[in-house]
Structure 1
Amino acid sequence: MYRSGAVMAWNVFKFCTALRGLGSIMILLVLGVVGVSYYAVVITNYGPGLAAGGLDSLIAFIVLILFHCLLVMLLWSYFSVVFTDPGGVPPNWRPAVDEERGDSDPLTASEFPPESENGRIRFCRKCNQLKPPRCHHCSVCGRCILKMDHLCVWVVNCVGALNYKYFLLFLFYTFLETTLVTLSLLPHFIAFFSDGEIPGTPGTLATTFLAFVLNLAFALSVMGFLIMHISLVAGNTTTIEAYEKKTTPKWRYDLGRKRNFEQVFGMDKKYWFVPAYSEEDLRRMPALQGFEYPSKPDLDSQEF
Structure 2
Amino acid sequence: MHTSGTTMAWNVFKFCTVLRGLGSIMILLVLGVVGVAYYAVVFTNYGPALFDGGLHSFIAVVVLILFHFLLVMLLWSYLTVVLTDSGTVPPNWKPAWDEERGEVDPLNESEFDGLQPALSSQRIRYCRKCNQFKPPRCHHCSVCGRCVLKMDHHCVWVVNCVGALNYKYFLLFLFYTFLETSLVTLALFSHFLAFFSDEEIPGTTASLATTFLSFVLNLAFALSVFGFLIMHVSLVSANTTTIEAYEKKTTPKWRYDLGRKKNFEQVFGTDKRYWFIPAYSDEDLRRMPALQGLEFPSNPDFDSEEF
Fold in common (TM above 0.5): yes
Compute the RMSD of aligned alpha carbons.
Answer: 2.1
**Max Rg structure:** 2
> Counterparts of 1:189 and 1:104 in 2: how far apart (Å)?
66
- Written as runs of structure 1 = structure 2, the 5 A alignment for 1:178-193 is 178-193=181-196
- 1:112 CA drift (Å): 5.6
SS at 2:121 equivalent: coil
- Could you tell me which residue of structure 1 aligns to residue 198 of structure 2? 195
Is 1:234 the counterpart of 2:237? The answer is: yes
- Could you tell me which residue of structure 1 aligns to residue 62 of structure 2? 62
> Counterparts of 2:202 and 2:157 in 1: how far apart (Å)?
36
- 1:119 CA drift (Å): 2.4
- Could you tell me which residue of structure 2 aligns to residue 48 of structure 1? 48
One-letter amino acid of the structure 1 residue matched with residue 270 of structure 2: M
After the TM superposition, which parts of structure 1 deviate over 2 Å for at least 4 consecutive aligned residues?
A: 13-21, 95-109, 111-114, 298-303
> Counterparts of 1:287 and 1:81 in 2: how far apart (Å)?
18
8 Å Cα contact 2:93/2:132 also seen in 1: yes
8 Å Cα contact 1:123/1:130 also seen in 2: yes
Q: Percent identity?
A: 78
Between structures 1 and 2, the one with greater helix share: 2
- Written as runs of structure 1 = structure 2, the 5 A alignment for 1:82-97 is 82-97=82-97
Cα deviation, 1:131-176, whole Å, max 9, x if unaligned, reads 1100011112111100000000000000000000000000000000
One-letter amino acid of the structure 1 residue matched with residue 253 of structure 2: K
- Could you tell me which residue of structure 1 aligns to residue 8 of structure 2? none
- 1:234 CA drift (Å): 0.6
Cα deviation, 1:119-139, whole Å, max 9, x if unaligned, reads 242211111111110001111
- 1:255 CA drift (Å): 0.7
- 1:300 CA drift (Å): 2.8
- Written as runs of structure 1 = structure 2, the 5 A alignment for 1:132-143 is 132-143=135-146
Cα deviation, 1:207-251, whole Å, max 9, x if unaligned, reads 000000000000000000000000000111000000122222310
- 1:95 CA drift (Å): 2.9
56-65 or 137-146: which moved more? 137-146
Is 1:106 the counterpart of 2:110? The answer is: no
Distance 1:181 1:105, change over 3 A: closer
Listed as ranges, the gaps of 5+ residues in structure 1 are 1-12
Is 1:252 the counterpart of 2:255? The answer is: yes
Is 1:155 the counterpart of 2:186? The answer is: no
> Counterparts of 1:31 and 1:294 in 2: how far apart (Å)?
39
> Counterparts of 2:180 and 2:263 in 1: how far apart (Å)?
26
SS at 2:263 equivalent: helix
Q: What's the TM-score once normalised by structure 2's chain length?
A: 0.89
Distance 1:15 1:86, change over 3 A: farther
Size of the aligned set, in residue pairs, is 290
Match of 1:280 among 259, 279, 283: 283
Cα deviation, 1:176-204, whole Å, max 9, x if unaligned, reads 00000000000000001111111101110
- 1:21 CA drift (Å): 2.5
Q: What's the TM-score once normalised by structure 1's chain length?
A: 0.90
